[in-house]
Amino acid sequence: MILRLKYFGMIAEAIAKEEENVEIQHRTIADLDGLLKRKYPQLVTLEYQFALNQTLAGMDEIIKDGDEIALLPPFAGG
């Protein structure tokens, strides 16, 4: 399946990318997190959370084809 990934703030800076499509066979956010940490080892030391289709998502959430997933560093609004 194909996922649309979006990266923000220090995450986008660390991996030098703001978005990409990835094709994976994995099932959960945790699976995706593992794959991304292998692809971008610099993520291992960074703090971030996932949003699945614009809602914060836990590691056990199931992902499906066409989902939009974002890696969000700590918030700094206000």
Partner 1 sequence: MSEKKIKNFLVEGPITPEKIATSIAHHQVKTNIGAHDIFLGQVRADQIEGKEVIAIDYSAYAEMANKVFDEIREAAFDKYDLTCAHIYHSIGVVKVGELCLFVFTSSKHRAMAFDACRYITEEIKAKAPVFGKEVFENSSFQWKSNQ
CA dihedral sign, ordered 17, 64, 68, 14? negative
Alpha carbon 21 to its chain's center: 11
Q: Identify which range of 7-15, 21-29, 31-39, 58-66 contacts partner 1 by CB under 8 A.
A: 7-15
**Least distance to partner 1 from the beta carbon of 27, Å?**
23
Query: Does residue 36 bind partner 1 (CB under 8 A)?
Result: no
Query: Does residue 26 bind partner 1 (CB under 8 A)?
Result: no
Q: Which is nearer to partner 1, 10 or 38 (CB)?
A: 10
The span from the CA of 19 to the CA of 6, in Å, is 4
Q: Which is nearer to partner 1, 10 or 59 (CB)?
A: 10
Q: Which helix (H) or strand (E) holds 36?
A: helix 29-39
